[in-house]
Amino acid sequence: MAAQFEAQPDYIHQDIKECVDVLKVMGVTKFSKHLQRELDMWKHTDLNIAVVGNSGAGKSSLINAILDLETDDDGMAKVGVVETTKTVTTYRNNNRPNLALHDFPGVGTPNYPQKGYFDKIGHKLSEYDFFLIVSSDRFTEYDLWFAKQIKRDEKHFYFVRTHIDLSIYKDKRPGPKKLKAKKVMEEVKKSIYEPLKKEGVIDDDCHIFLINNDAKLEFDFERLLQTLIKDSPVLKRQTMILSLAADVDETINEKVKILKGRMYKVALLASSGSAVPVPGVGLAAEAAVLYKEGCFYREQLGIDDKGLRRLSNHLNIEIEQLMKNFHLESHLVLISAKELIKWASVHVVSEALEDISKLILPVLGSLISAVASFPLCLNTLNKLLTMCETEARQLHNEVARSVLNDDIRQ
């Protein structure tokens, strides 16, 4: 069935109008390079998060969780109970290197006393977009001191209490598991909030997050990511979203919004290069651009080859069986640009093209002949994204069910 296109916000049409103006001035070749630079702009914008706290607080595990780094990944932060951070150490996911987490040495140690701490580490607070103040046990005077320094510089900061699952497990009070967990979490949050409130550091507890680094779908991990996305500087928000893993609902939702928003520029990029149609489909040189973007959808939504391997390991099922059980198609459609053309010749049907033309093509005006394949490219991208999103949500829901079943068995 043909995908239905809804009327798009005015800013989408304005974007396209601006692109058309640039195309008129630059010509096709320069315009294509210009458009590609705009699509890749997020790759050239860095977002820096400082992670502070004492040794054994779970900083390394938190860094690995946010960056989606596992034991077989290069650059994974070393996890241990001894002091592993001697200087400010920077971590990135090599596949999405624009998001950097910087592990600070613990303050108040013999090597890094509170007095002169920032001179000793050689870094200024102004270098960072956010600060995560991490603890795994009681809230300390050093955590409070750090918060005051950051507040003075008017930077965003958040309190992350790790190992909340262990605190719940160790609690021996009688009663139902869920009620006990709720009471423990309330008490832990209160123990952090009250000294901060007393010192005038925060007004409410919305920036306190209780997490288990090994279970992103539990407790406040998703709320933490949601807050970081919301509070990211406007020019860096896309970098933040596209640099996170698609393993919680919030990041999947935000990624899909961005991928939909860039769809029109990608279609213009593809169609502006050639107006020569392939019989039955209308895709020629455009296929290379569409294939690249389709692979980007898979990688961003965690259903590329690497993502599927991780999901199969998590669900303890062979990858071939996983693909069969969930009727996954994107890995077959996006084997190559040639396979994409074959798939599009069957699935990109003409019924939807009239709808697209009514919504978008009037914006293109006199340049319609130069981008005659624009509707076909746009419809292909729409169907590819719909397919990838559906697969990602199916697999994410299956992981969530698996986690819930594990909790029930325990």
| Res. 359: pLDDT tops 60 | no
On whether both 238 and 259 belong to a single domain, the answer is no
Is position 3 within any domain?
A: no
CATH of the domain at 94: 3.40.50.300
| Res. 242: pLDDT tops 90 | yes
> Tokens representing 58?
């779970």
CA gyration radius for the chain? 24
Tens-digit pLDDT profile for residues 157-184: 999 999 999 888 888 778 788 888 899 9
The model's confidence at residue 11, banded by pLDDT at 50, 70 and 90, is very low
| φ, ψ for residue 34, nearest 5 deg | -65, -45
Is position 256 within any domain?
A: yes
Q: Which pLDDT value is given to residue 81?
A: 45
On whether both 23 and 150 belong to a single domain, the answer is no
Tens-digit pLDDT profile for residues 71-121: 666 667 766 545 555 688 999 999 889 999 999 988 877 788 888 888 888
For residue 47, list its beta bridge partners: 99
Which of 243, 272, 287 terminates a domain? The answer is: 243
Number of domain units in the chain: 2
Q: How many CA atoms lie within 13 A of 409 on its CB side?
A: 6
Inter-CA distances, 2 with 181, 184, 242, 347, 369, Å: 48, 51, 28, 8, 24
> Tokens representing 119?
């001179």
Domain that holds residue 21: 10-39+246-409
Is position 383 within any domain?
A: yes
The model's confidence at residue 276, banded by pLDDT at 50, 70 and 90, is very low
Which of 243, 261, 278 terminates a domain? The answer is: 243
On whether both 224 and 271 belong to a single domain, the answer is no
At a CB cut-off of 8 Å and minimum separation 6, what does 375 contact? Answer: 353, 356, 357, 360, 361
On whether both 154 and 218 belong to a single domain, the answer is yes
Q: Which pLDDT value is given to residue 333?
A: 95
Q: How many CA atoms lie within 13 A of 2 on its CB side?
A: 17
On whether both 59 and 154 belong to a single domain, the answer is yes
At a CB cut-off of 8 Å and minimum separation 6, what does 5 contact? Answer: 352, 355, 356, 359, 378, 382
On whether both 252 and 223 belong to a single domain, the answer is no
Whole-angstrom Cα distance, residue 238 to residue 229? 9
Helix intervals (H) in 232-304: 237-243, 249-272, 286-300
